[in-house]
């Protein structure tokens, strides 16, 4: 009689879709991203990243004192337009519109996820800016009036928080796997694009952007995890109350 190997009959997709497995995976991501940010912040504080930052900044700038973006003159305007995708006003309006729809559709937990992601992410990045107080790059064009410190990038954090949160949310409703992958890829692309423009414009060091991506992504996943745990707890608690 042949002995069946239980591994051969394990439905990997069903296993990975189990709430506890997804929650464990999300928690691991949050921990790893958090540790990565701590290491990066330590390196930035010790100025170990100065060579890396300056090399990339100068590679993307040209002219006297590297005051101009490489490429044709209109590229500066394009970068300024695209970087607005990570600004708080744009993120706030977009998030409020999405939250309004979710509330009308009675997706209350998803609305809470979007709200916590934006509100918490904004508060967190402002706190970290005050903690590190890193000066902005010296090659910032005079047309940009910037009053906040450099690390981590607020635009990069906001983009990661909002677009990754919305990407995860929309992907959950996708009817096909390729549609879900497209949505997630789009959210990563928008997040990357905003970060790239911050460096290209000379208003942030590359490590500012990387730090912002880490904080934003980690916070987005943490909020999704917290809301998912709360949602599952409610589902298990309701039948017990009915009894």
User: Is 68 domain-assigned?
Assistant: yes
DSSP state at residue 69 = E
Which CATH number belongs to the domain containing residue 113 in this structure? 1.20.144
Whole-angstrom distance, CA of residue 69 vs CA of residue 75: 7
Q: Distance from CA of residue 151 to its chain's centroid?
A: 15
Give pLDDT, residue 1.
46
User: Is 118 domain-assigned?
Assistant: yes
User: Is 5 domain-assigned?
Assistant: no
User: Is 238 domain-assigned?
Assistant: no
Buried b / exposed e across 111-122, counting CB within 10 Å, b at 16+?
bbbbbbbbebbb
How many structural domains does the chain have? 1
User: Is 59 domain-assigned?
Assistant: yes
Give pLDDT, residue 226.
86
User: Is 99 domain-assigned?
Assistant: yes
Whole-angstrom distance, CA of residue 20 vs CA of residue 29: 14
Whole-angstrom distance, CA of residue 26 vs CA of residue 219: 11
User: Is 49 domain-assigned?
Assistant: yes
**pLDDT tens, residue by residue, 150-188:** 899 999 999 999 999 999 899 888 888 899 899 999 999
Mean pLDDT by 10-residue block, N- to C-terminus, for the chain (243 residues)? 50 54 76 91 91 89 74 86 94 96 93 94 94 83 68 95 93 86 95 94 92 95 85 65 52
**pLDDT tens, residue by residue, 41-64:** 999 998 899 899 989 988 888 776
Whole-angstrom distance, CA of residue 51 vs CA of residue 60: 15
Length of the chain: 243
The residue segments making up the domain with residue 105 are 33-232
Whole-angstrom distance, CA of residue 4 vs CA of residue 192: 47
């Amino acid at each position: 009689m042949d002995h069946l190997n239980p591994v051969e009959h394990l439905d990997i997709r069903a296993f990975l879709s189990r709430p506890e497995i997804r929650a464990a995976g999300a928690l691991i991501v949050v921990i790893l991203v958090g540790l990565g940010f701590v290491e990066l912040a330590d390196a930035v504080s010790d100025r170990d990243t100065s060579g890396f930052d300056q090399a990339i900044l100068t590679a993307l700038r040209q002219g006297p004192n590297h005051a101009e973006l490489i490429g044709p003159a209109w590229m500066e305007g394009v970068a300024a337009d695209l970087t607005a995708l990570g600004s708080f006003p744009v993120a706030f309006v977009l998030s409020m519109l999405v939250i309004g729809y979710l509330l009308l559709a009675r997706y209350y937990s998803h609305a809470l996820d979007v709200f916590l992601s934006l509100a918490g992410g904004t508060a967190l990045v402002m706190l970290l800016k005050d903690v590190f107080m890193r000066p902005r790059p010296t090659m910032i064009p005079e047309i940009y009036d910037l009053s906040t410190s450099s690390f981590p990038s607020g635009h990069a954090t906001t983009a990661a928080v909002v677009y990754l949160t919305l990407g995860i949310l929309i992907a959950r409703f996708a009817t096909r796997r390729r549609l879900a992958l497209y949505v997630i890829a789009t959210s990563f692309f928008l997040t990357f694009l905003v970060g790239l423009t911050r460096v290209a414009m000379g208003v942030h060091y590359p490590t500012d952007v990387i730090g912002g991506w880490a904080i934003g992504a980690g916070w987005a996943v943490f909020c999704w995890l917290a809301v998912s745990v709360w949602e599952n707890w409610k589902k298990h608690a309701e039948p017990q109350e009915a009894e």
